[in-house]
Structure 1
Amino acid sequence: MEKVTTRDVVRKYNFKFTKSLGQNFLVDDTVLEDIVRGADVSKEDLVIEIGPGVGTLTRELLAKAKKVYAIELDSDLIPILQEELKDFDNFELIHKDALKVDFDEIIGEEKSVKVVANLPYYVTTPIIANLITKGYNFKSLTIMIQKEVAERIDAEPNNKDYGSLSILVQYYCDTKILRRVPPASFIPQPKVDSIVIRLDKLDKPRVQVRDKDLFFKVVRQSFNMRRKTLRNAVKSLGMLDSEEMEKAFKEAGIDPKRRGETLSLQEFANLTDSIYNVKNHNG
């Protein structure tokens, strides 16, 4: 069977890219292969693809997966995808904004669900946050995203890229950078490098905390005030007086003069639990 390329399909339908939708379509076959291999797709898997473009990656996934649901927002791409992929009986197209999809409706009783996507840069973080925090039953998320965002997701403490996004993702997932992708791999070419990263969902969060909302509140505040000490970050939450704060830091075994970017997930968990204990029991 003759190979269908992204450029061929774009030319065939005289497709016009929509800048506001962040459309950059992959034209490098080696990247396609690495994404499918990296996602470890098999006939056991239901695959959800977000932003299929003209269906080049979708075609590779359909050959390997039990079924592929592709979620596409752009109305101009719907007839192209319907035509190009009409011969696959394991393909289903959903014309919707991925941020408004109830993934439980797609997943149903499926045991092995994998998300694969070449995500538009402008919705990368909201889509990742939505997928990992809502408790959807998927095994992994293999995504191509802007290099800087991938490096933030994968970062460790005491690194300039380490921040609240690192902690949010690592709280729920193992992270692994699979490969770098240069701008020349796309049409039109983006101005930045991309990275393919795989997030494997943990059976339970990496750290256990008494109050998850408080944990993320402390994390966000510590990085919003990146140049400030932890004492100032916690003080700005307005939950504890000076004496209570001292008690919380002492109980957690953390120096209040440290900065948020030096704390591991476990240390943030310890600090949050100490704040929770002092606030609710006051000794």
Structure 2
Amino acid sequence: MRNLGILQSSTSETRKCPVLQHGVRQLSGTACKATPFRPSVRKQGSKDSKFKPKKSLGQNFLTDDALLQSIAAAARLQPGDRVLEIGPGKGSLTQQLLQAGASVLAVEKDARLVKQLQSSYGQRADFRVIEEDFLTLDLSQASQLHPAKAHGRLIAAGNLPYYITTETIKKLLPWGHTFSALHFVIQDDAAKRLVSPDASEVRAINVEIDFYSEPKYLFKIDKARFSPEPTVDGALVHFELRQPSEYLLTEGRTSFMKLVQHAYLQRRKMLRKSLESLYSRAQLDKAQERLGSKCSLAARPQELSMAHLVHIFTVLQEAKHSTFMSDQS
């Protein structure tokens, strides 16, 4: 992990996990069929006409005041809340987050925009910007780097560059012990795939999302609301993160996600076949004996509920451990 370049202001009820029932995904989130957000309002940022966005950084900025206010309002921020804003760009959403009473730690990769953000908000005690690629950011530092007066819940928010959407969400999902929620503008098609896919489109990432969070599709954003205009529409999504006490597994979560990944890489094959690279034949045989017919390794992953997948993983790990102990005796 490389060192962070920090620019600071000059003043100083337990939820049940969603499941995949008999191949039909029971969604924890809801997909709204709202029409795209098309307000006709004053735009921000028009004074900076000389700035040239970098396509390589996925820079498509939101400029409509009403839309930005709606995005911030949907996060339901309270005074004292903290926001880790990813890809703040010119600071249009930053302004709305600050006006909602939150303190903001902005993570921006483009040095030009870091300077602009520092010029616009650097005098505030409730704002800090760091020049960093979020994907290399040490999340354990997020709370420490935040403005000192902040004390409320911590959420991650932002208008994400589309090309880092999945990596960003996967990085943050297991951090329910630190973050309360994720609140992102992402590509509309990606939003639907992540939050409300058809049963035939469920992938490993959907299982991971449902394990760690309650996802919601909030509303669609017409591509004309971005500058420069991208080729696809956007959407606002919200992931309310589960606390570790709510996880269906207290340990072995990394190994469980590895099992899920292997299972869905070969989703048309029986679970036993797709897991042969993770477990020996003896371990699979022993696990099947314990599982019985109600939770068979002959099933395909999309036919199993989250609870079934967790149970299968637990039994397989026990079989793996007992086989190892037998080999050592």
- TM-score bracket, normalised by the shorter chain, equals 0.7 to 0.9
2:241 to 201, 218, 225: 201
Q: How does 1:1-283 map to 2 (within 5 A)?
A: 5-11=43-49, 14-86=50-122, 88-108=124-144, 110-134=151-175, 137-155=178-196, 159-204=199-244, 205-208=246-249, 211-241=252-282, 243-244=285-286, 246-247=288-289, 249-250=291-292, 253-281=294-322
Where in structure 1 do 4 or more consecutive aligned residues deviate above 6 Å? none
SS at match of 2:275: helix
Q: Secondary structure at the residue paired with 2:80?
A: coil
Rounded to whole Å, the distance in 1 between the matches of 2:251 and 2:105 is 37
Once the two structures are TM-superposed, the CA of residue 58 in structure 1 deviates from its matched residue by 0.5
Q: Distance in 2 between matches of 1:81 and 1:60?
A: 14
Q: CA deviation at 1:201?
A: 1.4
Cα deviation for residue 135 of structure 1 reads 5.6
**8 Å contact 1:104–1:136 — kept in the other structure?**
no
The answer as to whether partners of 2:45 and 2:90 remain within 8 angstroms in 1 is no
SS of 1:226 mapped into structure 2: coil
Inter-partner Cα distance in structure 2 for 1:21 and 1:200: 27
CA distance in 2, matches of 1:267, 1:180: 34
User: Which stretch of the first structure deviates more once superposed, 87-96 or 52-61?
Assistant: 87-96
Larger mean Cα displacement after TM superposition, 189-198 or 254-263: 254-263
Q: Residues 136 and 10 of structure 1: is their aligned pair in 2 closer, same or farther, counting only changes over 3 Å?
A: farther
Conserved 8 A contact 2:42-2:65: no
Higher relative CO (Cα under 8 Å, sequence separation at least 6) belongs to: 2
Contact 1:69 1:91 survives alignment (8 Å): yes
The unaligned stretches of length 5 or more in structure 2 are 1-40, 145-149
Describe the shift of the 1:235–1:209 C-alpha distance in structure 2 as closer, same or farther (beyond 3 A): farther
Of stretches 138-147 and 50-59 in structure 1, the one that deviates more from structure 2 is 138-147
Contact 1:118 1:145 in 2 (8 A): yes
Give the TM-score, by structure 1 length: 0.88
Is contact 1:145-1:194 (8 Å) kept?
yes
8 Å contact 2:222–2:234 — kept in the other structure? yes
Contact 2:176 2:212 in 1 (8 A): no
* CA deviation profile, 1:82-128 (whole Å, cap 9, x unmatched): 22334544221111111222233231484411211111111112222
SS of match in other structure, 1:65: coil
Distance 1:53 1:33, change over 3 A: same
Q: Which stretch of structure 1 is more off in the superposition, 72-81 or 102-111?
A: 102-111
Counterpart of 1:162 in structure 2: which amino acid?
V
Q: Would the alpha carbon gap of residues 210 and 50 (structure 1) be closer, same or farther in structure 2, given more than 3 Å must change?
A: closer
Give TM-score, length-normalised by structure 2.
0.76
8 Å contact from structure 1 (residues 5, 56) kept in 2: no
Q: For the residues of structure 2 that align with 1:130 and 1:247, how far apart are their CA atoms?
A: 36
Query: Partners in 2 of 1:179 and 1:43 — Cα distance?
Result: 24
User: Aligned equivalents of 1:79 and 1:210: distance in 2?
Assistant: 43
Q: In proportion to residue count, which structure has more helix? A: 1
3-state DSSP of counterpart to 1:141? strand
Task: Measure, in 1, the Cα distance between the counterparts of 2:141 and 2:177.
Answer: 10
Question: Could you tell me how far 1:209 is from its partner in structure 2?
Answer: 5.7
| RMSD of equivalent CA atoms | 2.5
Q: Measure, in 1, the Cα distance between the counterparts of 2:314 and 2:94.
A: 45
Gapped regions of structure 1 (runs ≥ 5): none
Identity value in percent: 28
Q: Is the 8 A contact 2:80 2:151 kept in 1?
A: no
Whole-angstrom distance in 2 between the partners of 1:70 and 1:9: 22
Contact in 2 for aligned 1:72/1:78 (Cα 8 Å): yes
For 1:210 and 1:247, how far apart are their aligned partners in 2?
24
User: Residues 30, 272 of structure 1: CA spacing in aligned structure 2 closer, same or farther, 3 A cutoff?
Assistant: same
Paired residue total: 277
* Code of the aligned partner of 2:214: D
Structure 1 residues 88 and 164: alpha-carbon distance in aligned structure 2, compared to 1, 3 A threshold: same
Q: Output one character per residue of 1:125-172: Cα deviation in whole Å (capped at 9) or x when no partner.
A: 22222222256511111111122332233247x613321111112211
